[in-house]
Amino acid sequence: MTLSLAISPCPNDTFVFHALVHGQVPGAPAVTVTYADVDVTNTAAERGAFDLVKVSYAALPFLLEDYHLLPCGGALGRGCGPLVLTRPDRAPTSAVTASTGSDSRVTGFPGRVDLSGATVAVPGDRTTAYLLFRLWSAGRPPARIEVVPFHDIMPGVAAGRYDAGLVIHEARFTYPRHGLTALVDLGEWWEADTGLPIPLGAILARRGTVDPEAAAGWIRESVSRAWADPTASRDYVLTHAQEMEPDVVERHIGLYVNEFTADLGEVGYAAVDSLLGRAAEAGLVPQTSSSRATAWTS
């Protein structure tokens, strides 16, 4: 048996799946790998294109009829949220008063900044980053949203093609190089509001094709091997890291591969339920039952 696997080329995914991809997990089947941005895998998963697939948690309510949510292998954490970036000369000078009635800038968090006249570039319309952005900007949505390949967002904002851009992953470490400034860290906003980590990317197993319990075991073993010998995957990770410098790669892995990668646990599932519950109440995603109820978990 050979299974199809779709992950991003980002260092956290290649680090986590190195052992599985390279046949180093005892008892696991061979896998054929497709590397693609998460916006691509979100769409492909709707067609049932892969047996194992990395998707945005924001896409989960649209996929649970055909896929199991696995309790491991994904990206969820603290201090790793999406950023809204702009050029300093285009940054709004005022913040919209937060729903509490006080200016949240006093607490150090830029509130719901008024982007109502802006064009904002986003990496996908079913990404968790965009879902968080829509929750944050409720009541003051931008004038225009453009879905842009992730690697084109920061150059586009720097060149003035977009007023602001929504970025993820290694852009947290590299955006100053483009002369950009952060309007808001949506992770800080989410954590301050909920006390929960941010559920970013999930690993799904196709129903009727993959035994979810077995798949979770393979992935956990792959994670365990990655942590046991971080040097084993270095060449593989760097090959797919899109010209990222080694120090940025290490910081990326350190931020996005954490205890939730091995197991979501109660806190992880609470974060997923909170995000999707709020989004459903706002009419942004279909209502879905508890993520734990619709997933296989150990």
Active site annotation includes 169: yes
In this predicted model, what pLDDT tens digit does every residue of 7-45 receive, in sequence order? Answer: 999 999 999 999 999 999 999 999 999 999 888 999 999
pLDDT for residue 121 = 96
Catalytic residue, from 18, 169, 178, 252: name it: 169
Phi-psi region of 271 (alpha: psi -120 to 50; beta: other; left: phi over 0): alpha
> Which of 211-214's residues contact partners 24+ apart within 8 Å by CB, and which partners?
212/68, 212/70, 212/295, 212/296, 213/296, 213/298, 214/27
pLDDT for residue 1 = 83
- Residue with tokens 């978990």, as numbered in its chain: 297
pTM for the model stands at: 0.87
pLDDT for residue 259 = 96
- Residue with tokens 């619709």, as numbered in its chain: 294
Q: Which residues of the chain have pLDDT under 50?
A: 94-112, 298
- Give the CA radius of gyration of the chain: 19
pLDDT for residue 294 = 60
